[in-house]
Amino acid sequence: MKRLGKRLLAGPYLMWMLLFTVVPLVLLAYNAFTGADGSFTLTNVAVILDPVNGKPFLRSIGMSVLVTVICLVLSFPLALILRKCSGNKNSFIVMIFILPMWMNFMLRTLAWRLILLNNGILNQILTALGFGRVHLMNTIWAVILGTVYDYLPFMVLPIYNALVKIDNDVISAAQDLGAGQWTILRRIIIPLSIPGVVSGITMVMVPSISEFVIASMLGGGKVYLIGNVIEQAFNSGYADIHAGSGLSLSLMVLILISMVIYRLFDGEEGESSLW
């Protein structure tokens, strides 16, 4: 009886997964391996090799790696600071970081557009202070900035989670044994934070690789990423859902491979990972 009840409870979720994960995946794979006439073909998977798709693909990979590195560099010290803060102050600072996430990310990106425009807020401030204007809007740097801003919390929180779990006694013990700050960081804190870091990297890199909304909002049509290519394949008047599916599949395979590689680094328990 108990078992049946448990199974029934899982029912809605299983249905959800079946309808919105399994079925779409099957459809995607089906479309990727068939042509317009429904016959089997590999051309849709091979289109990734065409520079028209390959260049944006490489650009996306490069961009997401850069975004991830920037996020990591910003997040680790921040998470360390958060860990050191105690009690209420701590949760307040954490909240400051989560706060922007309560607002829709499209709105946040739109705000960046207003800030970065040629005569936007940033340039107005710069000229008022006597500096020259910066040309950021409609460049890849604007897209990177927007993406870092949007994904930063996804890096901070897992690392922070991993760091707060480190027992203070472990650090005290190390200090008793004569370890300096640097040694503690290198030999204790960093190794113990790896699961959080891996989780953070995955949560930033995987979604940012297929990013296209930020690119169209801040890139002014000049930053063409693989996400834009796929979106066009499904949405434009020249819609070719088969090529689009093939490209999506290539992207998923790449992500899957990198996930497997990350998993190798992920500790045995992976408690602090969020996925």
Partner 1 sequence: MVSVAGREADSVKKHNMLWKKCTAAGMAVLLTASGLLTACGTSGQKAVQRIVVFNYGDYIDRDVLKQFEKETGISVAYEEFLTPEAMYTKYKNGTIHYDLICCSDYMLDKMIREKDVRKIDMDRLKYAGNIGDTYWKLSRNFDPDNSYSVPYFWGTVGILYNPKLLDFTPDSWKDLWRKDYKDNIIMQDSVRDSFVPALRQLGYSINTTDKKQLKEAQKLLLEQKDLVQSYLVDEVRDDMANEQAAMAVIYSGEAGLARDYNEDLEFVVPKEGSDVWMDSWVIPKDGENYEGALKFLDFLCRKDIAMKNFEYVYYSTPNTAVLDEIDPEEKADDPVIFQSEDVVKNCEMFRYLGKDMEEYYNYMWKQLKAY
Q: Site residues (CB under 8 A) for partner 1? A: 27, 36-38, 51-53, 55-56, 117-119, 135, 137-138, 220-222, 224, 228-229, 232, 236-241
Element (H, E) at 11: helix 2-17
Among residues 156, 5, 184, the alpha carbon closest in space to that of 82 is found at 156
C-alpha–C-alpha distance, residues 262 and 101, integer Å: 26
Q: How far is the CB of 48 from partner 1 (least distance, A)?
A: 12
**Helix, strand and coil in the chain, % to nearest 5:** 75, 0, 20
> Is 240 or 266 the residue whose CB approaches partner 1 more closely?
240
Nearer to partner 1, 14 or 36 (CB): 36
Closest separation in Å from C-beta 118 to partner 1: 5
Min separation Cβ 229 and partner 1, Å = 7
Q: CA 80, CA 94: separation in Å to the nearest integer?
A: 12
Which CB sits closer to partner 1, 57 or 151? Answer: 57
Contact yes or no for 41/33 (Cβ under 8 A)? yes
Q: Supply the minimum distance, in Å, between the C-beta of residue 255 and partner 1.
A: 21
Q: Residues of 206-231 as b/e, b for ≥16 C-beta within 10 angstroms? A: bbbbbbbebbbbbbeeebbbbbbbbb
Closest approach of Cβ 189 to partner 1, in Å? 43
Q: How far is the CB of 249 from partner 1 (least distance, A)?
A: 17
- CB nearer partner 1, residue 188 or residue 241: 241
User: Hey, what are 6's tokens?
Assistant: 């448990």
* 96 or 107: CB nearest partner 1: 107
Q: Which is nearer to partner 1, 7 or 135 (CB)?
A: 135
DSSP string across 58-122: HHHHHHHHHHHHHHHHHHHHHHHHHHHS-HHHHHHHHHHHHGGGGS-HHHHHHHHHHHHSTTSHH
